[in-house]
A and B are shown apart, each in its own frame.
Chain A
Amino acid sequence: MSSVSNTTTISSVGAPNRRNTELLMLLFAVAIPVLAYANVGLAKNGSVPAGMLGYGLGLGLIAGVAHVMVRKFAPYADPLMLPIATLLNGLGLVLIYRLDLEPSITTKALGGPRAPGQLMWSALAVALFVAVLVFLKDHRILQRYTYISGVAALLLLVAPMFFPAVNGSKLWIIIPGLGSIQPGEFAKIILAIFFSGYLMVKRDALALASRRFMGLYLPRGRDLGPILVIWALSMMILVVETDLGSTLLYFGLFVVMLYVATERTSWIVFGLLLAAGGATVVGLTSPHVKVRVDQWLNPFAGIAQHGATEAAQVMWSFGSGGVLGSGLGQGYSRLIGGIGVKSDYILATVGEELGLCGLMAILLLYGLLVERGVRTALAARDPFGKLLAIGLSSAMALQVFVVAGGVTGLIPLTGMTMPFLAQGGSSVVANWALVAILLRISDTARRPAPAPASSPDAEPTQVVRL
């Protein structure tokens, strides 16, 4: 792949499949979290934690199974995504374990220790990852379920409205006695499938059959309809479920895919205008969103009157970490308090204990993961695959931006979790599935074309004796 322009890798000469590269990097991806785990134990208790062997074996097993299955079912898949996902997942487990050691944020009311549950969810997630690789032989099968996906996504998005709000946001489906799931995490994948299928069919109509209006190409009403429906829905979700982050994610995903499908810049302008308008209205009217915006603008306001906000605590966490960080287990991100330390705010712990260097490394890992996804989109040979790959990758990028931007105070904070890193079962399961689909697309894209069948014409004419 030396030439960027030659991204369609149709070649009968088998490109190296890079599975051994993947294995080597997986070794690092397992070793780094295991060492980090030991580091936490040494810092907190002065000894290597007792569960280290089990943890190392568990993570190694997860990575090993995933690798073997990729080798068998997607041998030409991108070699970087699995190690990156494993590393992030492993570090996430270490960070959650580390925060579990702080009694003040591991009370019964806050759900007790979270690491064991997260490990279980990770195992489940990899099981789903394997299942996707095994059963999804070709990503184009998903195209058949375009409209079913549309409906499913809608249901997933609407469902939380009928459940009580948790911490001001209606993001959860609560199953009494079993726990809760965050359907939004799954919705982003299913929405990407729907958009890909829909836009693949409609792209020509959207791109060409348009009227020019004030320098912009506007599509016909009948093509625009479903798009406006999606916009209205995401705005409705924002209003009813008061979740700015998810809205940004879904709508951003939609605009990106629309742009890629139609190659028309006017869609971006149109999309941004709609998004900005909607966000402004909601920001001004919804009290929950307003509070978030106020805290974003003035994280240190009112400390004298009612103590430090979580936003202020998070800022102090980052600042106290400095360039090199305090070292794992030696920070005070527990001071953030509340329910979000292990999930929404986990990056603050990264920033404080691993420092600027550690956090930049983590962000670059996400960047790398996203760019591998975009690379897959470039390499994919079918428009559906291209659209799906870019959709999933940009969803990941947007989510990382919204979460990390929110926590670091670049944009207002929203209730979403960092893929792989943060505590949360739905998130880890959905993101492993996302990676599985990307691997499937990349496997298809990089798989060498079957050797051409021997053409009868090329053979010397044989005399057939009768």
Chain B
Amino acid sequence: MNKPLRRVAIFCGLLIFALLLRDNWIQFVEADSLKNDTHNRRVQIEEYAKPRGDIIVDGKAVTGHTTTSGSDFKYKRTYTDGPMWAPVTGFASQAFGTTMLEGVEDKILTGDDDRLFFNRTIDMLTGKQQQGGDVVTTLNAKAQAAAFNGLGNKKGAVAAINPQTGAILALASTPSYDPASIAGNSTQDSQNWTKLVNDPNQPMLNRALRQTYPPGSTFKIVTAAAALDNGLYSNIDTPTDSPLPYTLPGTSTVLNNEGDIPCKNATLMVALQYSCNTVFGKIGADLGQSKMLAEAKKFGFDSTTDTPVRTVASNFDSKTMYPSQTALSSIGQFDTAATPLQMAMVAGAVADDGKLMQPYMVDQLRAPNLSVVDQTSPKQMSQAMTPETAQKLQQMMENVVNKGTGTMAQIPGVTVGGKTGTAQHGVANSALPYAWFISYAKTDQGSPVAVAVVVEDGNANRDDISGGGLAAPIAKSVMEAVLNK
């Protein structure tokens, strides 16, 4: 009987061998993908098993942590002034994941980043708990407060940058939400989450980076830059060739201005001061789509930006348009759409003599022992226009604030340039228009701040909605906050 016995022995050996092979497959070959599977709760447990690092503004943490009991997760995120900082921090929720800086810099905050390997190893050897690093932002607490409080109960967004570096100084979006209310994984957190997700006002939408609005008249800055850069007009004080009324090329549609304003053959200076649709619409049509598109792209349109939180791309149509559509696009209507950050970049490029800086909101990434693991250095994105063009535009924008539509943004003793915008939207422009204001302030050391404000207010009286009325005061207080710092 021994021959079959030996065969059975081999068979039993093969059974064990098959098990060993299978075990190697799941615990070695597939191990990493199983281990990091998003549904594998260990990922979250590990993440919340140690306190996260902090997000720091002006040397003070706007985040914190607290311990929880009766849960898989030991530490829970807390936020100081959560709603105000939500567009910057995003949330780190035990139940719902992470977004914005909490998401992009998650590995630094949890301490899992490769750059913290050395710290981790030391912690492991000395038996200390792994610690998370800190994210030091470029934001300015006073400017942020000014922006958030300025928006108040209105729906809208503010983005402010330092034109010389691209550092983001304020990033507000209203209505906002408190990330602390969804940081845990309790029933209450779930209810809060459901409420936020189903809220028609989209409180969790980061309007400053992730929502595009028709920029309306504020886009005329880009159009003016295109006209000057391309030599269509070289002097801002000589009359343009602009009929009034202006019939859109190839159509019988007449483009109108808001009110009875002196736009016939107006100079660029006057046209911007009064925000003449006819002048800038014709410039757009005269330059043509390709030149307008090229100019818009130099300002950052049609591409996303990583701040490092990724923005949505602002849009100037690259698909073929009729000249009439190009004309409308050039006054910030038709398909043209921009994020508030994009428009702040436009104002910033003008203020900084045509240099467009890469916007960023993370200044440093810091290891738990406060050593700097990454320092962002300002980077130029493009030369949006020639310095001469920029200086001409500065004169025009300062003129708008001095005696045009933007007088509400005047700051005594400070040079301020700005542009209002009131963007029509909705079917047959029936929806309440968006009020825009973009501006910059200038001192003798150059411009420390450029800001874009958009207000979409369903409660306001339609006639009151104008960039100058609703948005300019907010821009002014943000600029003041930066200047008085």
B1 A319 Cβ-Cβ under 8 A: no
* Residue in contact with A356 in the complex, picked from B28, B32, B33, CB distance below 8 Å: B28
Which of B5, B20, B31, B37 has the most A CB atoms < 10 Å from its CB?
A: B5
B23 A363 Cβ-Cβ under 8 A: yes
Annotate A67-104 by CB proximity to B: 1 below 8 A, 0 otherwise: 00000000000000000000000000000000000000
Complex interface residues of chain B between 14 and 67 (CB less than 8 A to chain A): 15-16, 18-20, 22-24, 26-28, 30-35, 37, 39-42, 45
A320 B5 Cβ-Cβ under 8 A: no
Pairs of residues from A and B, 9 with the lowest C-beta to C-beta distance, nearest first: A319-B34, A367-B16, A356-B27, A397-B12, A401-B15, A374-B9, A316-B40, A410-B22, A260-B4
A332 B41 Cβ-Cβ under 8 A: yes
Counting CB contacts under 8 A, is A15 at the interface? Answer: no
B34 A371 Cβ-Cβ under 8 A: no
Within the complex, the shortest CB–CB distance from B257 to chain A, in Å, comes to 54
- Provide the bound-state CA to CA distance between A89 and B40, in Å: 30
Complex interface residues of chain A between 296 and 314 (CB less than 8 A to chain B): 300, 303, 308, 312
* Residue in contact with A332 in the complex, picked from B2, B5, B39, B42, CB distance below 8 Å: B42
A321 B16 Cβ-Cβ under 8 A: no
Counting CB contacts under 8 A, is A150 at the interface? Answer: no
- Provide the bound-state CA to CA distance between A405 and B22, in Å: 8
- Provide the bound-state CA to CA distance between A6 and B39, in Å: 57
Counting CB contacts under 8 A, is A322 at the interface? Answer: yes
A359 B5 Cβ-Cβ under 8 A: no
B1 A351 Cβ-Cβ under 8 A: no
B23 A359 Cβ-Cβ under 8 A: yes
Counting CB contacts under 8 A, is A121 at the interface? Answer: no
Annotate B415-453 by CB proximity to A: 1 below 8 A, 0 otherwise: 000000000000000000000000000000000000000
* Residue in contact with A377 in the complex, picked from B5, B22, B35, CB distance below 8 Å: B5
- Provide the bound-state CA to CA distance between A408 and B22, in Å: 7
A401 B18 Cβ-Cβ under 8 A: yes
B12 A360 Cβ-Cβ under 8 A: no
Known: A359-B23, A360-B20. A319 touches B37 (CB 8 A): yes
- Contacts A/B (CB < 8 Å), 30 sampled: A260-B4, A263-B4, A316-B41, A319-B26, A319-B27, A319-B34, A319-B40, A320-B42, A321-B31, A322-B27, A335-B41, A351-B23, A351-B26, A351-B27, A356-B24, A356-B27, A356-B28, A360-B24, A363-B16, A364-B16, A367-B13, A370-B16, A378-B6, A383-B1, A390-B8, A393-B12, A401-B15, A405-B18, A405-B19, A410-B19
Q: How many residue pairs at the A-B interface have CB separations less than 8 Å?
A: 135
Known: A355-B27, A405-B18, A410-B22. A378 touches B12 (CB 8 A): no
Annotate A398-415 by CB proximity to B: 1 below 8 A, 0 otherwise: 101100110011100000
B42 A321 Cβ-Cβ under 8 A: no
B30 A363 Cβ-Cβ under 8 A: no
Counting CB contacts under 8 A, is B485 at the interface? Answer: no
B24 A320 Cβ-Cβ under 8 A: no
Counting CB contacts under 8 A, is B3 at the interface? Answer: yes
- Provide the bound-state CA to CA distance between A367 and B23, in Å: 14
Counting CB contacts under 8 A, is A123 at the interface? Answer: no
B35 A409 Cβ-Cβ under 8 A: no
Q: Which residues of B contact A318 (CB under 8 A)?
A: 23, 26-27, 31, 34
B42 A394 Cβ-Cβ under 8 A: no
Counting CB contacts under 8 A, is A217 at the interface? Answer: no
* Residue in contact with A408 in the complex, picked from B23, B28, B40, B45, CB distance below 8 Å: B23
Q: Which residues of A contact B8 (CB under 8 A)?
A: 256, 259-260, 374, 390, 394
Tally chain B residues at the interface, Cβ within 8 Å. 35
Counting CB contacts under 8 A, is A188 at the interface? Answer: no
Q: Which residue of B lies closest to A203 (CB)?
A: B1
Q: Which residues of B contact A364 (CB under 8 A)?
A: 16, 20
- Provide the bound-state CA to CA distance between A359 and B18, in Å: 13
Q: Which residues of B contact A332 (CB under 8 A)?
A: 41-42, 45
Within the complex, the shortest CB–CB distance from A264 to chain B, in Å, comes to 9
Q: Which residues of A contact B1 (CB under 8 A)?
A: 260-261, 263, 383, 386-387
Counting CB contacts under 8 A, is A295 at the interface? Answer: no
Q: Which residues of A contact B22 (CB under 8 A)?
A: 405, 408-410
Within the complex, the shortest CB–CB distance from B112 to chain A, in Å, comes to 15
- Provide the bound-state CA to CA distance between A387 and B2, in Å: 10
Known: A316-B37, A378-B5, A386-B5. A321 touches B27 (CB 8 A): yes
* Residue in contact with A323 in the complex, picked from B4, B28, B34, B39, CB distance below 8 Å: B28
Given A7-B2, A323-B27, A356-B23, 15 more A-B residue pairs with CB atoms under 8 Å apart are A300-B37, A318-B31, A319-B27, A319-B31, A322-B31, A359-B27, A360-B20, A371-B12, A378-B5, A397-B12, A400-B19, A405-B19, A408-B22, A409-B22, A410-B18
Q: Which residues of A contact B (CB under 8 A)?
A: 7, 256, 259-261, 263, 300, 303, 308, 312, 315-316, 318-323, 332, 335, 351, 355-356, 359-360, 363-364, 366-367, 370-371, 374, 377-378, 383, 386-387, 390, 393-394, 397-398, 400-401, 404-405, 408-410
A319 B19 Cβ-Cβ under 8 A: no
B19 A390 Cβ-Cβ under 8 A: no
B2 A319 Cβ-Cβ under 8 A: no
Within the complex, the shortest CB–CB distance from B109 to chain A, in Å, comes to 22
- Provide the bound-state CA to CA distance between A400 and B23, in Å: 13
- Provide the bound-state CA to CA distance between A433 and B102, in Å: 59
B42 A315 Cβ-Cβ under 8 A: no
Within the complex, the shortest CB–CB distance from A259 to chain B, in Å, comes to 5
Q: Which residues of B contact A359 (CB under 8 A)?
A: 23, 27
- Provide the bound-state CA to CA distance between A364 and B45, in Å: 32
Q: Which residues of A contact B31 (CB under 8 A)?
A: 318-323, 356
Q: Which residues of B contact A383 (CB under 8 A)?
A: 1
Q: Which residues of B contact A404 (CB under 8 A)?
A: 19
B12 A394 Cβ-Cβ under 8 A: yes
B9 A371 Cβ-Cβ under 8 A: yes
B5 A374 Cβ-Cβ under 8 A: yes
* Residue in contact with A360 in the complex, picked from B23, B41, B42, CB distance below 8 Å: B23
Q: Which residue of A lies closest to B26 (CB)?
A: A318
A319 B16 Cβ-Cβ under 8 A: no
Within the complex, the shortest CB–CB distance from B21 to chain A, in Å, comes to 9
- Provide the bound-state CA to CA distance between A355 and B35, in Å: 13
Q: Which residues of B contact A259 (CB under 8 A)?
A: 4, 7-8
